């Protein structure tokens, strides 16, 4: 990854922000730029990342159903503009100023939702919220062991997201 000069961090205003850029070739998706900004100030630790396909893509809705344990290793590209939904759990992560783009796999997506649920289970003062989080964590466990199917939907107005599987359904996103 090419490291660029240190810049002024927009949050702490110190000249401790490192900009990075890398062009990677993702099979079945194409050449993709990976960008990141990270503040090296230990009191700030600002971080932002994104991915962008080299060639222009159309807005898309990507649907994939996890059916077996092997599906957890399928590659996922998610841009900072994308919304990730898990309809069966009634959960979604929507883009915002702190949203990051990343290259991961299906298990990495599930782990992000798992972290949200663990926080709800451990930090909520509401017993019903904790109980609901525990039930959803059990469902995620069943998915990871191949005992339950689960649908993941990524909606991306930039078109810079993908789930790299022959079993994925890609539709044009209505924006």
157, burial (CB in 10 Å: exposed 0-12, middle 13-18, buried 19+): middle
**pLDDT digits over 135-161, tens only?**
999 999 999 999 999 999 999 999 999
CATH architecture of the region 1-55: Single Sheet (2.20)
Q: What is the CATH number of domain 57-175?
A: 2.60.120.1040
pLDDT band of 111, cuts 50, 70, 90: very high
Tell me the C-alpha distance between 61 and 46, whole Å. Answer: 30
User: CATH 2.20.25 residue ranges in the chain?
Assistant: 1-55
DSSP 48: E
Nearest to 88 by CA among 138, 156, 131: 138
Which ranges in the chain are annotated with CATH 2.60.120.1040? 57-175
Task: Give the pLDDT of residue 83.
Answer: 95
The sheet carrying 17-26 orders its strands as: 2-7, 17-26, 30-39, 47-53
CB contact at 8 A, 162 and 53: no
- pTM equals 0.82
User: Encoding tokens for residue 108?
Assistant: 């990495």
Instruction: Check pLDDT > 70 for residue 3.
Output: no
């Amino acid at each position: 990854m090419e490291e660029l000069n240190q810049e002024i961090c927009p949050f702490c205003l110190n000249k401790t922000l490192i900009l990075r850029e890398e062009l990677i070739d993702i099979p079945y998706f194409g050449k993709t730029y990976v960008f990141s900004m990270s503040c090296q100030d230990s009191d700030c630790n600002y971080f932002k990342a994104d991915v962008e396909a080299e060639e222009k893509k159309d807005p898309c809705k990507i649907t994939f159903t996890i059916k077996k344990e092997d599906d957890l290793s399928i590659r996922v590209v998610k841009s900072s503009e994308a919304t990730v939904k898990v309809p069966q759990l009634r959960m979604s992560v929507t883009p915002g100023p702190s949203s990051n783009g990343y290259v991961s796999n299906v298990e990495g997506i599930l782990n992000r939702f798992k972290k949200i649920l663990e926080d709800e289970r451990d930090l909520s003062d509401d017993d019903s919220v904790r109980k609901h989080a525990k039930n959803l964590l059990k469902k995620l466990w069943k998915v990871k062991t191949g005992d339950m199917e689960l649908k993941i939907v990524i909606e991306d107005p930039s078109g810079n997201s993908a789930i790299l599987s022959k079993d994925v359904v890609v539709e044009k996103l209505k924006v």
